[in-house]
Amino acid sequence: MNFDFDADTEEMRAMVLGFARRELAPAPTAAGEFDAADFRRRWRLAGRQGLVGSAVPSAYGGSGLTAVAAAAMMEALGQGCPDTGFAFSVGAHLFAGLMPIVEFGTEEQKRRWLPALCSGERIAAHAITEPEAGSDALNLRAHAERRGDGYVLSGDKCFTTNAPVADVFLIQAATAPGGGFFGLTAFVVPADTPGLRVGPRHDKTGLRGSPMADVSLQGCHVPADAVLGAEGAGASVFSASMKWERTCLFAAYLGAMRRVVDATVAYAGERRQFGSAIGGFQAVSHRIVDMTLRLEAARLLLYRAADGLARGSEDEIAPALAKIAVSEAAVRVGLDAVQLLGALGVVGGGDAEALLRDALPARIFSGTNEIQRNNVARALGLGRRPAGAAARPRRPGAAARH
């Protein structure tokens, strides 16, 4: 085992950290507002730096990073960019939007969509969640009916990250309603397709820099070559994207936690009470040690999952454990930082209160932590697998089949 990055990855991390600190701070806005033009400006800058397509092969305009290097990039982005929502949008675009096209797309689809999505010219969104299908992702009501030389999509999607700014949607719909794992199909759909409508942007507790909206599909006709993978492969597309997202996207939270822990350590060394720096008080120092412990433990789990993904492991448990560990550590680190900073911790615009707000949804998206625990328990042989579910995931450490 080697816990150090190679020289190229370290150099890349330093570049991303410096770039994010210099260029990715958002323009000031009033509470609840979102500056779409400024978001696009920063997105194009990130595209020029190779960030939004980093894990895509270089043949299609990406940087060809492994999962470990892509996670390192996201960690540096999360540490350097004060807007964790922006980093989250980059991760959702890359890991839930582009990587499914890389892994399941035809050569024509890859060459048509990936270059502009990697350069920052276009933005992707993955629409699967519905009002009645959140955790129960296999029972979608949005459906796709084969008609002539294509399909007609109808239904409603909700809470779709990047929807207000997306140029391309990866949309999941049922082609065989009630067909379980093989009843879903994924489609790549341009945002300007007639019948596709994006609703108003949601105002959220956290990740405010990541635009989110509902999507309506009313008689949305797409050609047959819009199918990603094959008819009935939608659940496989989604599962593969979640492996990337639950691993690499969550590395942004590692960076955000690092930024907050470092700032808290500095504050504890400067803030004086009763004639001493508060970092000398055991109650304070032990809390900071616990913050560091949670961060480092979650980081090890995440990079273990990233290493498995890079090696082609079939293990689905490591990403689930990493997702649980990182999201719950981020919430606790945010709470601890707010407590140690006192009134400064709850003043708007501070790193501590921002981390806490941004961490709250991390326990929900990419599959709730309760669902992740169910998946891990099932892999351990606890409980019964629902009818029609996929074979149980491999346990951590199991050799991958090639």
**Active centre residues (catalytic):** 245
Would you say 50 and 63 are in contact if contact means Cβ atoms under 8 Å apart? yes
Q: What does the alpha-carbon distance between residue 327 and residue 331 come to, in Å, rounded to a whole number?
A: 7
Residue 369's CB: how many other CB atoms inside 10 A? 17
What token pair was written down for 341?
Answer: 């900073």
DSSP symbol at 205: S
Q: What does the alpha-carbon distance between residue 298 and residue 292 come to, in Å, rounded to a whole number?
A: 10
Q: Which amino acid is at 168?
A: V
Residue ranges of alpha helices (H) inside 311-387 are: 317-341, 351-359, 369-379
Task: Give the 3-state secondary structure of residue 328.
Answer: helix
Would you say 362 and 326 are in contact if contact means Cβ atoms under 8 Å apart? yes
Contacts of 122 (CB under 8 A, 6+ apart): 113, 116, 167, 168
- Distance from chain centroid for Cα 31: 24
Strand ranges (DSSP E) for 100-226? 124-127, 143-147, 150-161, 168-174, 184-190, 196-201, 212-223
DSSP symbol at 179: -
Task: Give the count of alpha carbons within 13 A of 301, CB side only.
Answer: 23
Would you say 155 and 197 are in contact if contact means Cβ atoms under 8 Å apart? no
- Distance from chain centroid for Cα 320: 13
Task: Give the 3-state secondary structure of residue 168.
Answer: strand
